[in-house]
A = this chain, B = another copy of it.
Amino acid sequence: MGVPTVYDVAERANVSIATVSRVYRNPDSVRAQTRDRVLAVARELGYVPSGSARGLASRSTGVLGLCFPDHADPEIDEQDGEDADLTLYADEITRGMERAARRRGYALLIAASLAGGPESLVASVAGRVDGFAVLARTIATEDLELMARRLPVVMIAGPREIDQLDHVEVANTDGERELVTHLVADHGVRRFAFVGGPADSPDANARFLGYRQALTAAGLPAADEPDSRGDFTQAGGRDATRRLLDLPLPQALVYANDQMAIGGLDVLERRGVRVPEDVAVVGFDGIQLGRVVRPGLTTVTQPMRRLGQTAVELLIERLTEPAREPRSVLLPVTQTRRTSCGCPG
C-alpha cells in the first residue's frame, strides 16, 4: 500500500470516509469516542490529509503566495556573499508575510523570478494559492491584471500601477523630504548631491522626489536628475561616490539607499574625507549595517516586515470580501539619526 488515504483510515476505524474528513475539518461534529478512534488509526498509519485533494474539493488551498524578482541566476552555485539590497529587503518582507500568514492559518509559498521568464511564474504560483503578493516590477502589469480577475493580488512597493489592485507601499517621498529638511534646518546644509538608484526603480525615484521637494521648499536649487546613480549595492555606491569626488564637494551626500551610502562611507574614508565634518552622509532603509558602521549612518527606517504583514491583511480582507473597493496603504517611515549627518552619537 502506498500513502494512506481517508479510505484506509475509514476502513480501519470502521467509519465512513465522511467521518474521517469531519474529524479533521470539524472535530466537534464527531462523537469524542469516534474521533479518538479515527485519530489513533490515522496516527498509526501515518495518515496526513492530501492538500491537493482538500484544495480541489474545498476550492481553497490555505496558501498565500509571494513573488519577487531575484536577479541571481540559480544556475550559478554562487558562494554566500555580498548581495544587492533587494535580497535583504525581500527576506524581510518574506518573514513579515510568513508570520502574518501563519497567524491567520495560511502557509506561504514563495517564488522568485528571473528577470527573463515571468510567464511560468504567474501560472506556477497563481494556480496554487488563494491569493498572492507581488513585489513591484516582478510581473508584467498585464499579467497581473489577468490574475487579479481570478484571485486576490496585492502589489508591494512601487507605484500603484493598476488602480484595481490592492497595494502597500512605504512613505518614500515623505521620509526623504523630512530627512533632507532636517539637514537643511538643523545642520545648515545648503549644497547637496543625490546618488540615485536605477532609473526605473520607483522607490529610488520617489525618494529623489522627496529630496527635491525639501530643497525647493527651502528655496534651494534642485536638479532634475540625481547627480550620480548606483545599482543599490555597496559597490555601486562606491563607484557613484568616486565619480562625485571629481566634482566640488557638496555639504551633504544623500544616497537613495543604505547599501550605497555604506559603500560611499568607505570611499570617503579612504580619500580622507571626514564624515560628518567635511560632508554629511545619509541613506535610506534602516538596515542593520547602518547601526554598526562608523560613523553611524543617519537614515530613514522603513518597516519592511510590516509591508509583508500588511500585504497578508489586504489579501485576507479581499478573500473575505471580494467586492471590497481596492485599497492602497501607505506605511509610515521613521527617521533614524546617527552621527553621519552631524547629529551627536
Q: Give the residues in chain B near A129, CB-CB below 8 Å.
A: 51
Decide yes or no whether A140 CB sits under 8 A from chain B: no
State the oligomeric state as a number of copies. Answer: 2
Binds B, one of A26-34, A107-115, A173-181: A107-115
A319 to B18, CA, bound (A): 31
CB of A149 within 8 Å of the partner chain? yes
Given A108-B111, A289-B292, A63 and B94 contact (CB-CB distance below 8 Å):
no
A92 at the interface (CB under 8 A from B): yes
Judging by beta carbons under 8 Å apart, are B63 and A109 in contact?
yes
Give, as a whole number of angstroms, the nearest-CB distance from A98 to chain B: 6
Instruction: Tell me whether A79 and B303 are in contact in the complex, defined as CB-CB below 8 angstroms, given that A48-B122, A99-B70, A108-B111 are known contacts.
Output: yes
Of the stretches A52-60, A154-162, A212-220, the one at the interface is: A52-60
Type the 1/0 row for A270-292, where 1 means its CB is closer than 8 Å to any CB of B: 00000000000000001011001
- Give Cα distance in the complex from A98 to B109, angstroms: 10
Mark interface residues in A145-158 (1 if CB within 8 Å of B CB, else 0): 01101110000000
One of B51, B111, B150 near A61 (C-beta < 8 A)? B51
Interchain CB contact under 8 A, A80 and B286: yes
Q: How far is the CA of A129 from the CA of B107 in the complex (A)?
A: 12
In the complex, chain B residues whose CB is within 8 Å of the CB of A149: 46
The reply to whether the CB of A209 lies closer than 8 angstroms to some CB of chain B is no
Contact B99 A74 (CB under 8 A): yes
State which of B3, B54, B74, B125 has its C-beta within 8 Å of the C-beta of A107. Answer: B125
Closest to A301 in B: B80
Contacting A128 at CB < 8 Å: which of B63, B99, B122, B292?
B63
Let me know if A325 is at the binding interface, CB within 8 A.
no
Report B-chain residues with C-beta under 8 Å of the C-beta of A288: 82, 289
- 12 example contacts (A-B, Cβ-Cβ < 8 A) are as follows A46-B149, A48-B127, A49-B123, A50-B55, A51-B55, A63-B109, A78-B305, A80-B286, A80-B301, A82-B288, A289-B289, A294-B294
Cβ-closest 9 pairs across A and B: A52-B55, A51-B128, A74-B99, A51-B127, A52-B56, A74-B103, A91-B91, A46-B146, A48-B127
Give A contacts to B, CB under 8 Å.
Answer: 3-4, 43, 46, 48-56, 61-63, 70, 72, 74-75, 77-80, 82, 87, 91-92, 94-95, 98-100, 102-103, 107-112, 122-129, 146-147, 149-151, 262, 286, 288-289, 292-294, 301, 303-306, 309
